[in-house]
């Protein structure tokens, strides 16, 4: 299969739209499951390479590694990772991705097509399913099919746990606190954090609040964050106070059901009151190739997951830049 053609891929940011590669797994027993991956994460789709090497002591869902254009790429069997038994045979496809500053690939039975849709059409996974299926971040109905949006980051973390959002050890945390006096004499920085991953929300809140320089309010998506911002704006207006009396900055993931981080940032920066808040994008999609998207919607900083040390430093540095006399 030829490389994914870049022409026609969404260039405009902030429209709350995305493109989804619809892939499928043919399971033993005849069932075909449909899954979706954000096009922004996909570099190329190829036929199954002939020479694949299985590393010792690798995860059971890792088929092996192969050399592609001079780079060694890990191949993950998507069916095995999803606890499905993929039917052998046919002409399986390998989807090569890049996110979290990492190259990886996924073996699937086939690819249906690319769909252009809105994040508002993607529904969050039911709370009853989240605990037993952390591999999904959303669900959408496309052409009569139920398509599950995959959290591929979970598979990468399964290979290399260091690629998750880690906790900071006490020595690193002490160094960060010593390097920055931001927050002294004024209380912690109040951060509104939007992310559809419960794990990311919990871990981000924990390592920021353990720093003693932050107080984090967590919400599940951009739509919830926008509602929260409007509520704070209404309170500030009613009390004739600046919005910064109630919140200091916004931290947001990019990929979220209902409203993505780009659209949330665009709406925030277009509002006469809320635009005074620093807005930071914290996502696996922060790459050199995609950084222009965040810049076009007015993001004040963009930080690639995981990098908690960088996140703490940049949040404090950004607040200091916006309040030099504080």
Q: Which among 236, 232, 237, 238 is positioned nearest to 250, based on CA atoms?
A: 232
- How sure is the predictor about 187, in pLDDT bands with cuts at 50, 70 and 90? confident
Q: How far is CA 115 from CA 3, 67, 125, 150, 316, in A?
A: 17, 30, 20, 15, 39
> What percentage of the chain carries pLDDT values higher than 70?
84
DSSP 270-292: HSTTGGGS-EEEEETT--TTTHH
Q: How far is CA 240 from CA 32, 276, 294, in A?
A: 57, 15, 31
Task: Tell me the angle at which helices 222-238 and 261-270 cross, rounded to the nearest 10 degrees.
Answer: 20
Domain 165-320 annotated CATH 1.10.10.10 = no
The CA distance from 78 to 63, in Å, is: 10
Q: Which two tokens stand for residue 185?
A: 């004499």
* 129 band by pLDDT with thresholds 50, 70 and 90: low
Q: What pLDDT was estimated at residue 152?
A: 83
CA 56 remoteness from chain centre = 30
- Domain-wise residue ranges, the chain: 17-162, 165-320
Most confident of 5-14, 48-57, 183-192: 48-57
Whole-angstrom Cα distance, residue 187 to residue 244? 13
For residues 147 and 306, the model is more confident at 147
**Per residue in 294-315, is it b (16+ CB within 10 Å) or e — as a string?**
beebbbbbbbbbbbbeebbbbb
**DSSP 8-state code for residue 182:** T
The pLDDT, as a whole number, for residue 212 is: 75
Rounded CA separation 106/63 (Å): 9
Mean residue pLDDT across the chain: 84
Mean pLDDT within 228-248: 96
CA distances from 38 to 103, 285, 286 (A): 15, 10, 14
- 106, 76 Cβ separation under 8 angstroms: yes
Burial (CB count <10 Å: 0-12, 13-18, 19+), residue 181: exposed
| Dihedral sign from CA coordinates of 67, 159, 156, 35 | positive
Are 17-162 and 165-320 the same fold in CATH? Answer: no
What pLDDT score does 48 carry? 93
Span 293-313, mean pLDDT? Answer: 88
State residue 180's pLDDT score.
45
Instruction: Check residue 234 and give its pLDDT.
Output: 97
The side-by-side arrangement of strands in the sheet containing 249-252 is 214-219, 189-194, 249-252, 279-283, 301-304
Question: Stretch 15-30: mean pLDDT, rounded?
Answer: 94
Q: How many residues are present in the chain?
A: 326
Q: Tell me which CATH homologous superfamily contains domain 17-162.
A: CheA-289, Domain 4 (2.40.50.180)
Strand order in the sheet with 71-77: 42-47, 93-99, 102-108, 71-77, 62-68
Band (14; pLDDT cuts 50, 70, 90): confident
**CA angle, residues 74, 76, 78, in degrees to nearest 5:** 160
How much of the chain, in percent, has pLDDT values that exceed 90? 56
The pLDDT of residue 278: 95
pLDDT band (50, 70, 90) for residue 59: confident
Asked if 121 contacts 60 with a C-beta cutoff of 8 angstroms, the reply is no
| Residue-wise pLDDT tens digits, 87-103 | 988 899 999 998 877 88
């Amino acid at each position: 299969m030829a490389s994914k053609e870049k022409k026609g891929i969404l260039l405009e940011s902030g429209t709350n739209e995305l493109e989804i590669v619809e892939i499928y797994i043919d399971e033993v027993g005849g069932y075909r499951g449909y899954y979706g991956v954000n096009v922004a994460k996909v570099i190329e789709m190829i036929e199954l390479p002939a020479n694949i090497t299985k590393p010792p002591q690798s995860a059971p869902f890792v088929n092996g590694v192969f050399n592609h254009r001079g780079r060694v790429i890990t191949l993950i069997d998507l069916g095995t990772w999803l606890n499905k038994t993929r039917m052998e045979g046919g002409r399986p496809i390998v989807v090569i991705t890049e996110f979290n500053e990492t190259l990886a690939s996924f073996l699937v039975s086939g690819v249906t097509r690319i769909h252009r849709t809105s994040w508002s059409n993607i529904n969050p996974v039911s709370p009853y399913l989240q605990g037993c299926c952390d591999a999904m971040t959303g669900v959408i109905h496309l052409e009569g099919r139920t398509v599950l949006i995959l959290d591929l980051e979970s598979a990468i973390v399964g290979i290399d746990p260091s690629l998750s959002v880690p906790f900071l050890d006490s020595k690193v945390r002490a160094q960060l606190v010593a390097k920055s006096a931001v927050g002294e004499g004024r209380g912690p920085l109040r951060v509104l954090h939007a992310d559809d991953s419960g794990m990311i929300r919990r871990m981000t809140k924990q390592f920021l609040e353990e720093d003693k320089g932050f107080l984090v309010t967590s919400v599940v998506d951009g739509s919830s964050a926008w509602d929260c911002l409007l509520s704070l704006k209404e309170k500030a207006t009613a009390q004739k106070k600046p919005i910064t009396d109630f919140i200091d900055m916004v931290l947001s993931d990019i990929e979220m059901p209902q409203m993505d981080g780009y659209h949330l940032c665009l709406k925030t920066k277009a509002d006469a009151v809320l635009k005074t808040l620093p807005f930071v994008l914290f996502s696996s999609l922060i790459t050199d190739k995609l950084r222009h998207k965040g810049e076009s919607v007015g993001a004040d900083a963009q930080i690639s997951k995981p990098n908690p040390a960088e996140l703490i430093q940049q949040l404090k540095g950004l607040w200091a830049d916006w309040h030099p006399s504080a």
